[in-house]
Amino acid sequence: MNLILKRIALQKDPGRRDAIDAFLRQHQLSLEADCELAIVAEYGQRIVGCGAIAGCVLKCIAVDPSLQGEGVSLKLLTELMTQAYELGRSELFLFTKPYNAAMFSCAGFWPIARAGNRAVLMENSRERLARYCRQLAMYRQPGDKIGAIVMNANPFTLGHRWLVEQAARQCDWLHLFVVKEDASFFSYQDRVALIEQGIAGIDNVTLHPGSAYVISRATFPGYFLKDKGVVDDCYCQIDLQLFRERLAPALHITHRFVGNEPLCPLTRNYNKRMKQLLEAPGETPSITVVELERVEKEGGPISASRVRKLYKERQWSAIAPLVPAGTLSYLMHRAEREQQTA
């Protein structure tokens, strides 16, 4: 078979991007917005397969049914991995349907979390997750009540500070995880710096660097699942399964703290599923979910989305009561830089 593989820079070639998206849609899939690079398999000048890279995630892998069983999927996957390695991305992940897991296993991927018969998360290492959990275990602290918060902090507000204070007060020790992916308005590096400043003076807290094992909703792929509700539920299951079965046991976490969500239905549903999945009986110890009332200021709950809206409007006097001094200073300097480069 005279199969030709081509590398496509998706941001620089909108015409090819549209052609790849059209091919995927013929197979009830779609090309997600965060895909940076693609590998296209052509046969007789016709697209017969494709795959894409988004950060360290391989996604949007599809092959024309007429060529399935011809080894095209493995060739695509091998070329995608080569491309990722050349970009310095050696720790790779992919999400797929469970019935495809055997095919990806042949290319060196192992399943690490699963949402029933709908989705499975795989990575290209048998040991990396176990190694990460062993590293986490080095940060265990003594106590009967060990808490955890997973935070995006986009950006860090006084509401986040209040949540950390309340959780730390109720626990012997608190572990704070940051969502790592740069799919937020503010970069991961900046968000971590603001959190570190913002929690100063709370002694019984460990701030953990972000990891690929704290899944971001913004980067969870839904291209192979038709229903948005199914996508959201699969995200919840995979993210919370990793937390309950791997991260929490490494640190002996007994409680997870969240702020209640009066504004965003997606986050409110996530909190509901969290309670169901973490507190249910299982092979690993259950984790008690503690939902705390959000602190209110200036006529409404403090939220990062509220701060972002005010930031876009440059409403500094309205932002000031909602964020620590470090966040306010950062936002003002950022706005100044944006104006200078505009």
What mean pLDDT comes out for the span 143-160?
96
Q: What is the model's pLDDT at position 218?
A: 62
Q: Is omega for the bond preceding 221 within 30 degrees of 0, making it cis? A: no
116 backbone φψ class: left, alpha, beta (φ>0; ψ -120 to 50): left
Helical packing angle, 304-312 and 325-341, nearest 10°: 40
For residues 279 and 288, the answer to whether their CB atoms sit within 8 Å is yes
**Whole-number Cα distances in Å, 159 to 57, 304, 330:** 32, 9, 17
Nearest by Cα to 47 from 100, 9, 3, 80 = 3
Q: Rounded to whole angstroms, how far apart are CA atoms 265 and 271?
A: 10
Residue 208 has pLDDT above 80, yes or no: yes
Segment 236-290, tens digit of pLDDT: 999 999 999 999 999 999 999 999 887 778 888 889 999 999 999 999 999 999 9
pTM: 0.91
More confident residue, 216 or 128: 128
Find the Cα–Cα–Cα–Cα dihedral 149, 234, 190, 184, rounded to 10°. Answer: -130
Helices (H), the chain: 14-26, 72-86, 101-105, 128-137, 158-170, 188-198, 228-242, 248-251, 265-279, 304-312, 316-319, 325-341
- How many other CB atoms are there within 10 angstroms of residue 112's CB atom? 21
- 173: phi then psi, degrees, rounded to nearest 5: -155, 150
**Whole-number Cα distances in Å, 117 to 230, 237, 245, 313:** 11, 12, 19, 45
Q: How far apart are the first and last CA of the chain?
A: 51
CA neighbours closer than 13 Å in the CB half-sphere of residue 235:
23
Residue 17 has pLDDT above 90, yes or no: yes
Q: Rounded to whole angstroms, how far apart are CA atoms 38 and 76?
A: 10
Residue 89 has pLDDT above 90, yes or no: yes
What mean pLDDT comes out for the span 134-143?
98
More confident residue, 66 or 8: 8
3-state secondary structure of 179: coil
Residue 303 has pLDDT above 80, yes or no: yes
Nearest by Cα to 27 from 73, 74, 75, 94 = 73
Q: What is the model's pLDDT at position 238?
A: 94
Residue 199 has pLDDT above 70, yes or no: yes
Q: What is the model's pLDDT at position 248?
A: 98
Element (H, E) at 321: none
Quick one: 117 exposed, middle or buried, by C-beta within 10 A (0-12, 13-18, 19+)? exposed
For residues 55 and 43, the answer to whether their CB atoms sit within 8 Å is no
Find the Cα–Cα–Cα–Cα dihedral 91, 61, 119, 230, rounded to 10°. Answer: 120
Nearest by Cα to 64 from 44, 78, 82 = 44
- Residues paired with 94 in a beta bridge: 58, 122
Longest dimension (CA), the chain: 67
- DSSP conformational letter for 327: H
Query: What percent of the chain has pLDDT above 70?
Result: 96
CA neighbours closer than 13 Å in the CB half-sphere of residue 260:
8
The listed range with the strongest mean pLDDT (31-40, 47-56, 166-175) is: 166-175
- What is the rounded average pLDDT for all residues in the chain? 92
Segment 101-120, tens digit of pLDDT: 998 998 899 999 999 998 99
